[in-house]
Amino acid sequence: MTITGIIAEFNPFHNGHKYLLDQAEGLKIVAMSGNFMQRGEPAIVDKWIRTQMALENGADLVVELPFLVSVQAADFFGQGSVDILARLGINTLTFGTEEALDYQKIADLCTEQGAEMEKFVDNLPDSLSYPQKTQVMWKEFAGLDFSGNTPNHVLALAYAKAVAGRNIKLHPIQRQGAGYHSVDKDVDFASATALRQHQNDKDFLERFMPSIIHFEQASKVSWDDYFSLLRYQILSNPGLTTIYQVNQEMAVRIKDAIKTAQSVEELIEVVATKRYTKARVRRLLTYILVQTRESDLPAGIHVLGFTEKGRQHLKSLKGQVNLVSRIGKEPWDAMSQKADQIYQLGNPSIAEQNFGRVPIRIESN
Looking at residue 202, its pLDDT comes to: 86
Let me know if 94 is exposed, middle or buried by CB neighbors in 10 A (0-12, 13-18, 19+). Answer: buried
Buried b / exposed e across 267-289, counting CB within 10 Å, b at 16+? bbebbbeeebbebbbbbbbbbbb
pLDDT by residue for the chain (365 residues), tens only, comes to 999 999 999 999 999 999 999 999 999 999 999 999 999 999 999 999 999 999 999 999 999 999 999 999 999 999 999 999 999 999 999 999 888 789 999 999 999 999 999 999 999 998 888 888 988 999 999 998 876 667 888 899 999 999 999 999 999 998 765 454 556 666 678 888 888 888 888 888 899 999 899 999 999 999 999 999 999 999 999 889 999 999 999 999 999 999 999 999 999 999 999 889 999 999 999 999 999 999 999 999 999 999 999 999 999 999 999 999 999 888 999 999 999 999 999 999 999 999 999 999 998 65
Buried b / exposed e across 121-135, counting CB within 10 Å, b at 16+? beeeeeeebbbbbbb
Looking at residue 117, its pLDDT comes to: 94
Three-state secondary-structure class, residue 64:
strand
Instruction: Look up residue 42 and give its DSSP letter.
Output: B
pTM: 0.94
User: Parallel, antiparallel, or unpaired: how do β-strands 61-65 and 301-306 relate?
Assistant: antiparallel
Predicted confidence (pLDDT) per residue in 205-234, tens digit: 899 999 899 999 999 999 999 999 999 999
Closest CA to 9 of 56, 55, 44, 61: 44
Looking at residue 150, its pLDDT comes to: 77
Query: Kindly report the CA angle at 70 between 303 and 31, in degrees rounded to 5?
Result: 35
Beta bridge partners of 209: none
